Amino acid sequence: MEFGIGAYAVLATTIFGIGALGFVVRRNFLVQLMSVELMLNAVNLLFIAFNRIYVEQHGGQSFAFVVIAVAAAEAALGLAIAIAYHRIHRSVETDLADRLRH
């Protein structure tokens, strides 16, 4: 069975939406990090799917590779911050970080 670009676009948008919803609704550092990763993967899917329209060059696929690489770096840094956060709060609930306010 063959799926059209439209189907991929809908799927990617759905995953992106789930990721965004997760980021906004959940208050756990790690879950929020995973939500962002989900959003990035949705973007990758979209890039690769769209590349099927423009088969003569590989802009979309290259973009996806770059996103994957940067996401890895981002995750590494994110986990380091998460560890520092846990050492201070003994928890990864991001709601605990509300000292900075007026």
Partner 1 sequence: MTALFALAPLVLLLVGGLLIMLVDAFAKERVEVSALVSTLLGASFVVAAGSLLADPNPSGLPAEITRYLAVDATGYFTDVVLTVAALIATLAAGSYLREHELERPEIYLLLLLSTFGAMVLARAADLIVLFIGLETMSLAVYGMIAMRRNNARSIEAATKYFLLGSFAAAIFLFGAALLYGATGGTSIAAIRDAIRGGHAEPALVMLGLVFTLAGFAFKVAAAPFHGWAPDAYEGAMIPVTGFMSVVVKAAAFASLLRVFTGVFGDPLLMHPTTGWPTLVAALALLSMLVGNLGALGQKNIKRILAFSGIAHAGYVLVGFASLHAVPEDATAAILYYFLAYAGGTGLALASLVAFGSKGLEAVDVDDLVGLGKRHPLLALPMAIAMLSLLGIPPTAGFFAKLFLFQAAAQAGGIFAWLALAGVALSVVSGFYYLRIVVALYASEPAEGAVVARPMRSGYVLLAMVFGSALVVKLGVMPGLYLDLALEAGRGLFH
Partner 2 sequence: MHGTPLAIALLVAVLAPLAGAIVSGLFLRNAPKKAVSLVSVSAVFVSFVAAAIAYVGLDEGSLRFEGYRWFTIPLGGGQGVPIEFALSMDALSGMMAVMVAGIATLIHLFSVGYMAEEESYARYFAYLNLFTFAMQLLVLAANLPLLFVGWEGVGLCSYLLIGFWHQNLAYEAAARKAFIVNRVGDVAVLVGMFLVASLTGTLDFEALSQRAGVFDVPAFGVLGMTAATAVSLLFFWGATAKSAQIPLYVWLPDAMAGPTPVSALIHAATMVTSGVYLSARMSPIFVKSSAALTVILLVGAATALLAGLVALTQDRMKKVLAFSTVSQLGFMFAAVGVGAFSAAMFHVFTHAFFKALLFLGAGSVMHAVHAHGDAELDRLGGLRKALPVTSLTFLVGALSLAGVPLLAGFFSKEQILHALFGAAGNAQLAAGGVAVSIPSWAATTAIVFLALAALSTAFYSLKLYLRTFTGEPRHDAEPHEGGLEMKLPLVLLAVGAVLAGYLWLPAEGLERFAESLRAVVRDALPVEAHGGALPMIVGLGALAIGAGLAVALYKGKAEDPLPAKLGAFYRAAYQNFGVDALYDRLFVRPVAAISRFVRSFDFETIDGLFVGIPSGLATVGSKAVRQLQGSTVHSHALGMVVGLVLVFGYFGYPRLEVTIRHEGARTVLEVPPSFGYSYRVDFGGDGTYETGDFRADLTALAVPPSAAKKDRVVLLVHREPLDSEPVEVWLDEHPRELGERELGADFIPPGARGALPIMAWIEDGAVKLRTNLPGDEPEERELRPGQSHRIGAARLVATGVAFARVEVKNAFGHVTVQELEFPFRGRARTAVRGGSRRIP
Applying CB under 8 A, which residues contact partner 2?
20, 23-24, 27, 32, 94-95, 97-98, 100-102
CA distances from 64 to 32, 74, 88 (A): 21, 15, 36
Output 7 or 77, the one with its CB closest to partner 1: 77
Q: What is the nearest approach in angstroms of partner 2 to the Cβ of residue 1? A: 28
- Per CB under 8 A, the list member of 2, 88, 90, 95 interacting with partner 1 is 88
C-alpha span between 56 and 2 (Å, rounded): 21
| By the rule CB under 8 A, 79 interacts with partner 1 | no
Q: Please, what sign has the CA dihedral across residues 46, 40, 66, 69?
A: negative
Closest CA to 30 of 88, 96, 98, 82: 82
1 or 13: CB nearest partner 1: 13
**C-alpha dihedral (92, 23, 31, 78), degrees to nearest 10:** -70
Q: Which does 36 bind (CB under 5 to 8 A by kind): partner 1, partner 2, none?
A: partner 1
The yes or no reply on residue 74 touching partner 1 (CB under 8 A) is yes
